[in-house]
Amino acid sequence: MGVKKLSGFVTNNITLSTIQLVVNKKKCTDLCKGSKNLNEIFPTDKNSSKNDINLIIDANAFFYHLGNQLNWFNFDNLAFLKHLEMFLNRLISIDNLGEIFFVFDGMDTDMKLETIIKRSNERIASVGKFYHKIISSKKIKEHHLKYSLICATPLIRIIYAHYLLDMAKITEKVKVKFSYLEADAFIAKLVQEHDGYVISNDSDFYIYDIPGYIKLDTLHFHITKDSLFFKCDLYTSDLLEKYLGIPKVTLPIFATLCGNDYIKVGRYEKLALLLKNYKCTHKITNKIKNGHFKCISNLILDIYEKLNKKYENFNNKKKEQIQNLIIEELFGMINNETKDILEHKECQNKFKDSLNEYNLVDFKGKKEKVVSNELLSSYYSGKIFETLLNILVINHFKCTQYFENPKMDSCWNISQDIRKDTYEFLILRNYNKQTNNDKNKSNSKNNQKEDNYIITEYVRKNKKITTNIIQINNIKQKSMPKPLEERFNIYLKKFKSNNITIKKVPYFLIPVVISLRFYIITKIKDNLFITSNEKNNIFNKFYKYLKTRNNNNNKSNNNKNNTDDGNGKSDNDKNNTDDGNGKSDNDKNNTDDGNGKSDNDKNNTDDGNGKSDNDKNNTDDGNGKSDNDKNNTDDGNGKSDDESKTVLHYYEFEALLASCVASLTFTFLHKNMNIMRENEKKENEQINSSINNSSNYSIKENIKENYLDCNNMADVLKNHKNRCISLKNRWNFGDVKKDIHQYNNAIHIYAEFINLLIANSQLLQVLKITNDLPEFTSLFTMYHYLWEESFYFLVNSFKSTTNHQDITSIFTNLFSINVKKDKVDNYLNYLNDIYNNMLNAILIC
């Protein structure tokens, strides 16, 4: 929440005690080496000592603290995880440590809406500045850059949370909590219960009645010859009380009058005027250098003294009673001068809400009732996140700004259809027809009626946040499917991938395969995919097939009531079954000539490159630029005449897929995952055989057949340490300048790809697949598939290669292969097979 200007005031005026938290050197070393199991290093000790130190960490503040220490130019999840691991290893090695609690913020509230919009616009500005620094920098060899305001993707926060959750599974030292609303009050309550210290950067902790507060910015790790320790400043609530000269019980009143999320004092003219002109008569406040704070302290002291004379044993009354009497007296002073009774009442109510927060009074009220117990249970266990639950609590969704080309349409546009489906499934999951509490599950405050939902999306348009209104209707006529397999089929269907070929892909590749399939289908549908002039290019048949299908569907969709089910199938086709490859019964007489051309295309000639007459303007000139781009000139600063849409070239798509394979060498494709077996050839034959097998195949069967133990992120990081391949060089500003036009396009392609992974993750959460399949708890973080820096290098390589289905030479040129020398060829061949199996599954017709 934060008290206006209080943090700087305390730092500049109040002397804090400096303490050392000594780190056990042997335990920390063992942790860093990963040579021992955590239970060996920290044996369970049920007899906790009174001297044990418990730390309650503001997880959001800690996340941004870590982020400010990292490079964000081509951000790498692995670098973030290593930094987090190092910091956490040191923390849990503190001598006499009891437990460390990481507490995450929860859902938003109405009062934070203005702050949300303000911060969203600040993020847009930060991304714009970051982008400009990259393309205009004169430091050619530089490859490090930080945001003015950290703009992480939503996936990074999920990765962060799940690393901590996974650590909590392997050591009792770590606990993870999710607050229902903003975490400040929840953290303060935990600190009181566990007699610990808060670690945060939030100025509200100067006000809460807690044992101690360590400002995160003062927490520094020191290494000497003989010892390791954290050095930090410790604040206790008596320090501010003594400096201001006011009773401790009045600190929440002081904070509220300073201004916080509940009250913006400047909006209440009479209250602001009273504080501004208040006469300061108390000598004890003379040392207060901030004039506003001095006036507030004098006002509080005057009221307190007046009430002390008026009421017998005033000092012995309960805290809430004293505060209420002070508020009544304060607003009595204002009431004599104000004419606006409604404004007066609003201000008074907000004042009380603010005090309730500082007093740790449970004020969730009716808001909590809009979320079902089942969903709350999933939320508190980290299987669904607050970003989605905001849809139920406050009827909005934040399309969080992260790095993209700011001159193009928002990268969130690529997933808008999937998001709407996700919202609907979330509402259906929350709405239980069999309970008597249906009204409690409605967010009817902001909606037309219980059966209809209106959701406000906050998304970038140009350089500002704008609203996008989504309406979900007829909820009561729909239901959430119960069987797992049915829900999993819906998951595949929404990504246009509900076919046996995709189902046969090893389960750990399914999220990225269906995301990439959806991406290329969308680009082809929108005429934004650029094929190759090469006759046998693998994309040409798929491109032609989709164009033919879309043309046929467009003809059948002339009826205005003809809706599309997400697989290009209209209502007129309801009796027309789809074989999973996008082909309906209506197509049974529509034969393919073997070149991806159907009978319906008899007037649509193919030029021999898999390209029809309709596509005559969608060619690649050999330089990665299509005819559609001929009027789209680049001014050298990445600015073109029309930058609203992102074109996807076939070689950029290949690079995107190859970067996923490269990233997977940290987890499922790591050399330690027993993939380099003697019967490797036999396995590949089995994979290819299963792809051609049209029998039914459940996700549970898939997991059983292809299971690899990469479920615990903390264990994977400890055991694998690095990817099996590493870049020989770093991508730098000089590489950007070699082809700014290409870089501009590549930036946005990667941003859109990330966005589809976000949409994929959210759909997995909402459909309860993360609840029912433990193996997908790791997958929905999507960290396995992301390595941005490798993508930019791979674009250049695929653009110039003549053999697009053999990645071994590309990988050999770009990467150091960190396996035994005699295994390098086998390992690269294995990665090549994985790449081609994934590509074939994506492009299945």
Together in a domain, 414 and 559: no
Mean pLDDT computed over 58-87: 95
Lowest model confidence (mean pLDDT) among 124-128, 407-411, 478-482, 784-788: 478-482
Nearest residue to 91 (alpha-carbon basis) of 30, 22, 19, 9? 22
**Contact criterion met (CB below 8 Å) for 653 and 520:** yes
Query: What is the rounded CA–CA span in Å between residue 715 and residue 554?
Result: 51
Q: What are phi and psi of 754, to 5 degrees?
A: -55, -40
- Dihedral sign for Cα atoms in the order 70, 72, 74, 80: positive
**Contact criterion met (CB below 8 Å) for 386 and 106:** yes
The confidence score (pLDDT) of residue 336 equals: 55
**Contact criterion met (CB below 8 Å) for 770 and 491:** no
The confidence score (pLDDT) of residue 41 equals: 72
Q: What is the tens place of the pLDDT at every residue in 450-476?
A: 678 999 999 999 999 999 999 998 888
The confidence score (pLDDT) of residue 270 equals: 84
The confidence score (pLDDT) of residue 497 equals: 97
- Whether residue 757 is contained in a domain is answered as yes
**Contact criterion met (CB below 8 Å) for 433 and 479:** yes
Query: What is the rounded CA–CA span in Å between residue 15 and residue 242?
Result: 12
Query: What is the rounded CA–CA span in Å between residue 382 and residue 770?
Result: 9
**Contact criterion met (CB below 8 Å) for 684 and 721:** no
- Whether residue 344 is contained in a domain is answered as yes
- Whether residue 781 is contained in a domain is answered as yes
Res. 295: pLDDT tops 90: yes
- Whether residue 274 is contained in a domain is answered as yes
CATH of the domain at 196: 3.40.50.1010
The confidence score (pLDDT) of residue 263 equals: 84
Together in a domain, 26 and 118: yes
Q: Last residue of some domain: 324, 358, 392? A: 358
Q: Which two tokens stand for residue 351?
A: 């004042």
Residue linked to tokens 């505060």: 323
**How many structural domains compose the chain?**
5
Together in a domain, 349 and 397: no
- Confidence tier at 616 by pLDDT (50, 70, 90): very low
Lowest model confidence (mean pLDDT) among 275-279, 373-377, 501-505, 772-776: 275-279
How is the beta sheet containing 453-461 ordered, strand by strand? Answer: 396-398, 453-461, 464-472
- Confidence tier at 545 by pLDDT (50, 70, 90): confident
In one-letter notation, the amino acid at residue 562 is: N
Together in a domain, 441 and 572: no
Query: What is the rounded CA–CA span in Å between residue 387 and residue 401?
Result: 13
Q: Which two tokens stand for residue 799?
A: 């653009």
**Contact criterion met (CB below 8 Å) for 174 and 100:** yes
Residue linked to tokens 């399939």: 517
The confidence score (pLDDT) of residue 556 equals: 65
For the purposes of burial, counting CB atoms within 10 Å of the CB of 530, is it exposed (0-12), middle (13-18) or buried (19 or more)? buried
Which pairs count as long-range contacts for 238-244, CB under 8 Å and 24+ apart, including other chains? Answer: 239/10, 239/14, 239/16, 240/10, 240/14, 240/206, 240/207, 243/13, 243/14, 243/287, 243/288, 244/285, 244/288, 244/293, 244/297
- Confidence tier at 370 by pLDDT (50, 70, 90): confident
Mean pLDDT computed over 325-335: 87
- Whether residue 372 is contained in a domain is answered as no
Together in a domain, 410 and 460: yes
- Confidence tier at 636 by pLDDT (50, 70, 90): very low
- Whether residue 232 is contained in a domain is answered as yes
Query: What is the rounded CA–CA span in Å between residue 244 and residue 804?
Result: 71
Together in a domain, 389 and 448: yes
Nearest residue to 109 (alpha-carbon basis) of 272, 343, 350? 350
What is the percentage of the chain residues whose pLDDT exceeds 70?
Answer: 81
Res. 542: pLDDT tops 50: yes
Nearest residue to 408 (alpha-carbon basis) of 57, 748, 8, 59? 748
The boundaries of the domain holding residue 561 are: 533-621
Rama region for 624: left / alpha / beta (φ>0; ψ in -120 to 50; rest): left
Query: What is the rounded CA–CA span in Å between residue 403 and residue 789?
Result: 13
Res. 434: pLDDT tops 70: no
Residue linked to tokens 């980290």: 382
Together in a domain, 800 and 707: yes
Res. 661: pLDDT tops 70: yes
Q: What are phi and psi of 460, to 5 degrees?
A: -70, 135
Together in a domain, 739 and 610: no
Q: Last residue of some domain: 621, 639, 668? A: 621
- For the chain, the average pLDDT equals 85
Res. 629: pLDDT tops 80: no
CA 531, 534, 535, 540: dihedral to nearest 10 degrees?
-20
Mean pLDDT computed over 648-677: 91
Residue with more model confidence, 36 or 833: 833
The confidence score (pLDDT) of residue 347 equals: 86
The confidence score (pLDDT) of residue 120 equals: 95
**Predicted TM-score of the model (pTM):** 0.87
Nearest residue to 524 (alpha-carbon basis) of 649, 658, 651? 649
Res. 439: pLDDT tops 70: no
- Whether residue 635 is contained in a domain is answered as no
**Contact criterion met (CB below 8 Å) for 178 and 106:** yes
Q: At what angle do helices 699-706 and 484-494 cross, to 10 degrees?
A: 90
For 210-233, give the DSSP string.
-SEEEEGGG-EEEE-SS-EEEEEE
Mean pLDDT computed over 716-736: 95
- Within its chain, how far is the Cα of 476 from the centroid? 31
The confidence score (pLDDT) of residue 588 equals: 40
Mean pLDDT computed over 82-95: 96
Q: What are phi and psi of 642, to 5 degrees?
A: -140, 100
Mean pLDDT computed over 412-437: 85
Together in a domain, 232 and 194: yes
**793 half-sphere exposure, CB direction, 13 A CA radius:** 21
Together in a domain, 306 and 411: no
The confidence score (pLDDT) of residue 673 equals: 85
Query: What is the rounded CA–CA span in Å between residue 702 and residue 207?
Result: 54
Count the Cβ atoms, other than its own, within 10 Å of residue 215.
Answer: 23
**Contact criterion met (CB below 8 Å) for 216 and 56:** no
Together in a domain, 659 and 593: no
* Largest CA-CA distance found in the chain, in angstroms, rounded: 99
Q: What is the tens place of the pLDDT at every residue in 230-243?
A: 999 999 989 999 99
Q: What are phi and psi of 230, to 5 degrees?
A: -95, 135
Res. 184: pLDDT tops 90: yes
Res. 306: pLDDT tops 60: yes
Q: What is the tens place of the pLDDT at every residue in 186-219?
A: 999 999 999 999 999 999 999 999 999 999 999 9
Together in a domain, 205 and 61: yes
Res. 702: pLDDT tops 70: yes
- Confidence tier at 366 by pLDDT (50, 70, 90): very low
Alpha-carbon distances, residue 296 vs 1, 179, 237, 261, 278 (angstroms): 20, 32, 18, 18, 8
Q: At what angle do helices 269-276 and 291-310 cross, to 10 degrees?
A: 100
What is the percentage of the chain residues whose pLDDT exceeds 90?
Answer: 65
- Whether residue 25 is contained in a domain is answered as yes
Res. 597: pLDDT tops 80: no
The CA angle 213-214-217, to the nearest 5 degrees, is: 140
- Confidence tier at 339 by pLDDT (50, 70, 90): low
Residue with more model confidence, 649 or 696: 649
The confidence score (pLDDT) of residue 764 equals: 98
Q: Where are the alpha helices (DSSP H) in 608-732?
A: 650-663, 680-692, 699-706, 713-720
Query: What is the rounded CA–CA span in Å between residue 333 and residue 270?
Result: 10
For 361-418, give the DSSP string.
----GGGGGGS-HHHHHHHHTTSS-HHHHHHHHTSEEE----SS-TTS--GGGGGHHH
Mean pLDDT computed over 133-162: 91
The confidence score (pLDDT) of residue 452 equals: 86
Query: What is the rounded CA–CA span in Å between residue 298 and residue 280?
Result: 6
Q: Last residue of some domain: 190, 217, 236? A: 236
**Contact criterion met (CB below 8 Å) for 753 and 523:** no
Collect all residues with Cβ–Cβ distance below 8 Å to 269 and sequence separation of at least 6: none
Nearest residue to 75 (alpha-carbon basis) of 24, 146, 159? 146
Res. 572: pLDDT tops 70: no
Query: What is the rounded CA–CA span in Å between residue 148 and residue 72?
Result: 11
Collect all residues with Cβ–Cβ distance below 8 Å to 226 and sequence separation of at least 6: none
Q: At what angle do helices 373-380 and 386-393 cross, to 10 degrees?
A: 150
The confidence score (pLDDT) of residue 143 equals: 80
